[in-house]
Every structure is written in C-alpha cells, then in structure tokens.
Amino acid sequence: MNAERKVTLYEADLYEKEDVKEESVQFIIFRVAAEWYGVEIAKVKEVVRMGKISFLPSAPAHIAGIVHSRGNIMSVTDLKSIFGLHGEEPGRKSRLVVVSSGAMETCLLVDEVAEPAEVAMSKIDPELTTVDPEKAGFIEGEFKISDKLVGILKVEKILEKSW
C-alpha cells in the first residue's frame, strides 16, 4: 500500500538564503627591515617611489627629512627609528607611503611594499602584550597573511609623533 507523504513547506524554505558576508578591511602591507606592517587603505593617500629626501636640521631622530610631492612639502617618518630596527639603507624597492588623518599627513619610509590585502575582521587579533610598551602604542592589532605576521599601525599615533 502506498502511503502518501505530506510535505510541509514554510515560507522561509521558498526563498534562497542570503549568504552573510563577513566584514573585512583592506590594507597596504609593507616591510620595514625584517618586519611587516600594514595600514588601512582608507588612511593611505598614495604610494610613491622614493625621491630625494632633504635633510631637516634639528629634526627629531625619527624624521628622515622632507620631500616635495605634488606641490606639497611633507615630512618623512623613518619607522626603523621609531621601532628601533636596523636594516638596509633605502634601495630601489624603497617607497614612501603617504598616510593622513584629518589635516595631518606624513610619508612613511618603507623598504618594500607588497600587494594590497583584504582581511576579514575575524582574522585580526589585538596587539601582542609581549611587545615593548613603548612600541606597542604604535600597533593596534595584527593578522597573519601567507607566511607574514603583519602589525597594524596606528596612523594617528605616528602622525602625532611626527608633528
């Protein structure tokens, strides 16, 4: 004997479920000495080849000098000095990453720029507690991409130090 099957349909079953896309942030990733750092792409104005940096007398140690870019004169912040890193002298891979927040801006002197990356918010961890407290003030979090551990820079804190 064939038993009739009754199938109950609910309105929710009739519509396709929307995939919930996880929130993510885009970063410009760069190398300073042997360490990798990132800045939210929204805070980056441009990345330019390193030109002539003019020495600025009486400037703090972390200011490498000034550059003239697109009609603007901007300070160049040496992240190696801020983080106490030692590495190669600027070379052909070196770039200036122009960052800004509000009316303040500076160029970050970096050794190499990698491809931009989009990172899911769930993949971003808070900054390490093992980092030197003086340096930790410039890092707001970290994430791992490929084989790189990338520290997320607090642009506002770097700008504050550079002004």
Kindly report, residue by residue over 1-23, the tens digit of the pLDDT.
555 677 666 655 555 556 667 89
Give the C-alpha distances (Å, rounded to integers) separating 123 from 131, 141, 163.
Answer: 19, 10, 32
pLDDT recorded at residue 69: 79
In a domain, 7, yes or no: no
In a domain, 8, yes or no: no
In a domain, 66, yes or no: yes
In a domain, 138, yes or no: yes
Highest mean predicted confidence (pLDDT) among 20-24, 53-57, 94-98? 94-98
> Any residues with CB less than 8 A from the CB of 101 and at least 6 apart, and which?
43, 155, 156, 159
In a domain, 35, yes or no: yes
Beta strands 35-40 and 148-153 are parallel
State yes or no: pLDDT of 90 exceeds 90: no
What CATH number has the domain bearing residue 33?
A: 2.40.50.180
pLDDT recorded at residue 9: 61
Q: Which residue has the higher pLDDT, 18 or 59?
A: 59
In a domain, 4, yes or no: no
In a domain, 135, yes or no: yes
Whole-number percent of the chain with pLDDT over 70: 85
Instruction: Indicate the SS3 state at residue 160.
Output: helix
Average pLDDT over residues 115-127: 90
Total domains in the chain come to 1
Residues 150-162 pLDDT 10s: 999 999 999 887 6
C-beta atoms surrounding 113 within 10 Å: 16
Average pLDDT over residues 76-92: 88
CA distance 151 to 31: 10
pLDDT recorded at residue 66: 93
Residues 19-36 pLDDT 10s: 667 899 999 999 999 999
pLDDT recorded at residue 76: 94
pLDDT recorded at residue 119: 95
Give the C-alpha distances (Å, rounded to integers) separating 14 from 5, 10, 23.
Answer: 19, 7, 27
Q: Find the range with the poorest average confidence among 15-19, 60-64, 89-93.
A: 15-19
State yes or no: pLDDT of 68 exceeds 80: yes
In a domain, 134, yes or no: yes
Task: Show the domain range for 77.
Answer: 23-162
With 0.85 as the threshold, say if the pTM is over it. Answer: no
